[in-house]
Chain A
């Protein structure tokens, strides 16, 4: 079993990549791998509370993030400075906050680092 760090960097509705990243993370976790998530840059917007996208156009897939522990994903990190850049919005879960040094430690501590 290897430790995966998946770095989410896309805002939730700019393209399907944020949704695909989530599905990818859940799929890897389903194969009993250890998965941690790091939200960085516009990716932090995926965790914003009360998103209310147009239901005709977009599925509010980000609600799934509140149930990550059901998939065995308990290590969720958010880049502190990215969050500050978006005026520290309310988040739908309580992640661990990471500064640049902690992010570099995170990357070092995982076997496989994937950017989405």
Chain B
């Protein structure tokens, strides 16, 4: 099934849950069209997140997931601007994008998951 996933909580909330769900969907052979990071979700795209060594770095895990499975990660540029996320500190695998991209992805997808 073709899916669009929307993450609107920051990288410290429900740590791992959204990522684990997306990983499980991939394992079940669903296709993730795009993962959108909206509102506080934009914080996830900050390349400067530096977690203590015994805590997961969600930003880095998303980057790895995106690169391993060729998943498009899009950060809403309006949400990003408000939170100091821009091209200079965008983590690998993340792209800045518009609501237009979200609408297009939702239009193509069979299901939209809002996490």
Per-residue CB proximity of A18-29 to B under 8 Å, as 1/0?
001101100110
Contact of B100 among A20, A23, A31, A115 (CB under 8 A): A31
CB distance from B112 to the nearest CB of A (A): 5
Q: A19: nearest residue on chain B (CB-CB)?
A: B82
Contacts between the two chains (Cβ within 8 Å), count = 34
Chain A interface residue count, CB cutoff 8 Å, equals 18
Q: Measured between C-beta atoms, what is the minimum distance from B106 to chain A in Å?
A: 6
Quick check: A24 and B107 within 8 Å, CB to CB? no
Shortest Cβ distance from residue A14 to the other chain B in the assembled complex, whole angstroms: 13
Footprint of B on A, CB under 8 Å? 1-2, 16-17, 20-21, 23-24, 27-28, 31, 33, 111-116
Ordered by A's residue number, 23 sampled pairs between the chains whose C-beta atoms are within 8 Å are: A1-B107, A2-B106, A2-B107, A16-B82, A17-B39, A20-B39, A20-B78, A23-B78, A24-B39, A24-B99, A27-B99, A28-B103, A31-B100, A31-B103, A33-B103, A111-B112, A112-B106, A112-B112, A113-B114, A114-B6, A114-B114, A116-B8, A116-B39
A1: nearest residue on chain B (CB-CB)? B107
User: Which residue of B has the minimal Cβ distance to A17?
Assistant: B39
A92 CA to B78 CA, complexed, in Å: 27
Interface contact B114-A115, CB-CB below 8 Å: yes
Residues on A with beta carbons closer than 8 Å to the beta carbon of B79: 20
Complex Cα–Cα for A64 and B79 (A): 19
Verify if B35 is at the interface (C-beta below 8 Å from A): no
Contact with A along B25-57 (1 / 0, CB 8 A): 000000000000011100000000000000000
